Structure 1
Amino acid sequence: MREIVFDTETTGLDPKTGDRMVEIGCVEMVNLVPTGKVYHAYYNPERDMPSGAEAVHGLSAAFLADKPLFRDICDELLDFIEDSPLIAHNAGFDFGFLNAELGLCERVAVCTSRMIDTVALAKRRHPGAKLSLDALCTRYGIDRSHRVKHGALLDAELLAQVYVELKGGRQIGLELAADRAASVPDLVAVRKAPAGPRRTPRPHAPSPAEIARHRDFMAGIENPLWG
């Protein structure tokens, strides 16, 4: 299944009071595996940048002055996300700004039925724990040392890793196998022994030559953990 993990940076907290989206970063995932395809864009917000917002993401009005307007390149974004589910951290915030920008250029809003909120997922999985992106990266051992300030694409890439962990991480295959076994309680019983005479097991002990090669191989390992 194709999913898009995304993040936005803005001039403030509320598009209803004139705040605008200034950056978006999207990461494509198929069956919970990043494909390497991303979409990233900066936008000229056509307004000033409050100092508090700039302190968070480092994007100044001067830096954004020559960037395209959202309405001029929004088709690129819409082509990238297609009709895939959209995953964000505190997704209501990002959806609010994305749909506000689409509304300003008279485009159809993205339906919130496509929204997957990783904060809600984390709250169910880790009740009472800290739910910030930084806290979840720490919990799951995800390297965020290069995250000095917020950045939409960087945060989307980190969130993609967090999302995989929230969905089961490396244990996904094992959980599916367990679910499969639970759904077929007599799975072992239906595996009948093959009919016919049984043969005597063949010996599988290593030969002296194999033992010697193994000893030489082990001796060549530098600083072994067992030494």
Structure 2
Amino acid sequence: MRQIFLDTETTGLEANNGDRLVEIGCIEMENRRLTGNTLHLYINPERKGNEEAIRVHGLTDDFLADKPKFGEVAQQVVDFIRGAELIIHNAAFDVGFLDAEFARCKLGKTAQIAGKVTDTLLMAREMYPGKANSLDALCRRLEVDNTHRTFHGALLDAGLLAEVYIRLTRGQDSLVIHDDEGGTGVQATSAAAVDFSQFTLAVLDPTPEELAAHEAQLADLDKASGGKTLWRAVLPKPAEAVAQ
């Protein structure tokens, strides 16, 4: 299975009101192994950036001025994500911006180009209801090191998302845990039905000392409950049990 961890940075929060993409980061994984194939693009948004957005990602208008416009790299993005499962944190946001950019280029919608879109924010909310589930919060909870994240960057965040996703889904589809060398820590085996009637289990009787200690413990419980313990009514006393 080919999966793409994808993140974007934008000029603002509203694709429907003219905000544009300024960065795309994609990291490829196949069969739960990162392949090393990435796509990282800075994009000239053809408009000024929002100051608050720039404080988040650090991509200034001057920096982006000589970068390619989306139309110049659109086919490159399509070719990289085509047919893959896109894994995105808060997918509605990124897909909304991708859809707007693809529409300008008459390339269809993201869901038509990719094979599937999976939102890790929705996954995390199901797994950790009532808790903070931002990417930073998940990194802390799942012990993914994000101390080098001073600015939001699309490729950096896609890499963090890959680590978070692998930890979120480890063991979800199988009881076999993969080691770092591609092997398995536990081999999958099928257990044959066992006829337990063929076994004779030994029964060990308590010693007098063990019976006395047990009775003392029950007496303490009986005293603490004000004589309301129920086992006195249904169980024989140790002396009666021995006599039987």
Aligned to 1:206: none
Identify the residue that residue 111 of structure 1 maps to in structure 2. 111
CA distance in 1, matches of 2:131, 2:148: 24
What residue number does 2:61 align with?
61
Q: Which amino acid aligns with 1:36?
A: G
Change (3 A) 1:140 1:189: same
Unaligned 5+ residue runs, structure 1?
191-227
| 1:92 partner letter | A
Matching residue of 2:138 = 136
- Secondary structure at the aligned position of 2:35 is classed as strand
Amino acid at match of 2:76: E
Q: 1:30 — aligned with what?
A: 30
Using the TM superposition, give the Cα deviation of residue 79 of structure 1 relative to its aligned residue in structure 2, in angstroms: 1.1
Larger RCO (CA under 8 A, 6+ residues apart): 1
Give 1:173 shift.
4.5
Compute the displacement of 1:148 (Å): 0.3
Aligned to 1:4: 4
- When Rg is computed on C-alpha atoms for both structures, the one with the higher figure is 2
Paired position in structure 1 for 2:210: none
Aligned length: 186
- Relative to structure 1, is the Cα distance of residues 151 and 41 closer, same or farther in structure 2, using a 3 angstrom cutoff? same
CA distance, structure 2, for counterparts of residue 76 and residue 18 of structure 1? 22
How far apart, CA to CA, are the structure 2 residues paired with 1:32 and 1:123?
22
Shift of 1:188: 2.8
Q: Structure 2 matches for 1:185-196, cutoff 5 A?
A: 187-189=191-193
> Greater shift after overlay, 117-126 or 103-112?
103-112
Supply the distance in 1 between the matched residues of 2:8 and 2:104 (Cα, whole angstroms): 17
- The aligned residue for residue 215 of structure 2 is none
Q: Distance in 2 between matches of 1:39 and 1:71?
A: 16
> Any idea what the Cα deviations from partners look like across 1:165-204, whole Å, max 9, x if unmatched?
11126995537999x77xx7xx3327xxxxxxxxxxxxxx
Q: Which amino acid in structure 2 is aligned with residue 66 of structure 1?
A: D
CA contact (8 A) 2:171 2:177 kept: no
SS in 2 for 1:128: coil
TM-score (norm 2): 0.71
Partners of 1:157 and 1:60 lie apart in 2 by 23
Q: Secondary structure at the match of 2:121?
A: helix
Identical columns (%)? 48
Quickly say closer, same or farther: Cα 1:37–1:170, change in 2 above 3 A. farther
Task: State the match for 2:161 in structure 1.
Answer: 159
Specify the alignment match of 1:42 in structure 2: 42
Hey, which bits of structure 1, 4+ residues long, moved more than 6 A? 175-178
Q: Give the Cα separation in 2 of the matches to 1:153 and 1:169.
A: 26
